[in-house]
Amino acid sequence: MPIFTVHLSAGHTPAQKTALLQQSSQAVTQALNAPLASVRMALHELAPDSNIVAGEMGAAQLLYIAYLIEGRGPELKAALIAALSAAASASIGISQQDVRVIIQDVPKTDIGVAGGITALAAGR
């Protein structure tokens, strides 16, 4: 844990997508002091005909949805939002105005971790 889905408008090279995922993972480890081994990200590309921003079809956008074990305070969450926005801009050149981050706290009883047990059972 933490787990992220990354929704990105199509049109980026494989190298850009790799840089995005790597720099985003590093941003998470730095902002949350989370071990890299626990960070999970899945990238979903949005086709131009299934993506709209401010009325413009196919417009540039990046949306991170973060699933975090409950318990992190507002300061850490704000740091994560800032770090992910900066990582996206640096890696693929997207404006930070086109980046959004949604954080979803997950109760410790509702997330499985390594070994197939809940985060609560793992003492997290």
φ and ψ at residue 12, rounded to 5 degrees:
-105, 150
Contacts of the segment 106-114: beta carbons below 8 A, 24+ positions apart: 106/1, 106/67, 106/68, 106/69, 106/70, 107/70, 108/69, 108/70, 108/71, 111/1, 111/67, 111/69, 113/1
pLDDT of res. 3: 95
pLDDT of res. 114: 80
Q: What are the residues facing 44 on neighbouring strands? A: 7
Per-residue pLDDT of the chain (124 residues; tens, 9 = 90+): 799 999 999 999 999 999 999 999 999 999 999 999 999 999 999 998 998 889 988 888 999 999 999 999 999 999 999 999 999 999 999 999 999 999 999 999 998 888 888 888 888 8
pLDDT of res. 69: 93
**CATH (one of 3.40.50.2300, 3.40.640.10, 3.30.460.80, 3.30.429.10) for 3-118:** 3.30.429.10
Q: Are 63 and 103 in contact (CB under 8 A)?
A: no
Token digits for 23?
A: 């720099």
Round the CA-based radius of gyration of the chain to a whole number and report it: 15
pLDDT of res. 70: 93
